[in-house]
């Protein structure tokens, strides 16, 4: 079964950017994310739609 959420590290690897880039995008609210306590998580299906240009 595929995980439904991705960590910063997993997302950075998946889309081929640095973790710093992901943190910057989160800080500037450029990428859909949720904060759970001290963790930043990404809902994989939402990120896939966002990557496809369906949600800015």
Does residue 41 form part of some domain?
A: yes
Which pLDDT belongs to residue 42?
A: 97
- Tens digit of each residue's pLDDT, the chain (56 residues): 778 999 999 999 999 999 999 999 999 999 999 999 999 999 999 999 999 876 55
Which pLDDT belongs to residue 53?
A: 79
Q: How many domains does the chain have?
A: 1
Does residue 11 form part of some domain?
A: yes
Which pLDDT belongs to residue 46?
A: 95
Q: In what order do the strands lie in the sheet with 34-36?
A: 5-6, 39-43, 34-36
pTM of the model: 0.85
Residues 6+ apart with CB under 8 A from 17: none
Does residue 56 form part of some domain?
A: no
**Among candidates 16, 10, 19, which has minimal Cα distance to 42?**
10
Does residue 10 form part of some domain?
A: yes
Does residue 27 form part of some domain?
A: yes
Structural domain for 11, as ranges: 5-51
Which pLDDT belongs to residue 1?
A: 73
């Amino acid at each position: 079964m595929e995980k439904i959420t991705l960590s910063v590290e997993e997302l950075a690897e998946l889309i081929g950017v640095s973790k710093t880039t992901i943190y910057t995008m989160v800080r500037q609210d450029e990428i859909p994310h949720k904060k759970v306590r001290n963790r930043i998580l990404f809902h994989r299906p939402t990120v896939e739609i966002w990557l496809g240009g369906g949600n800015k």
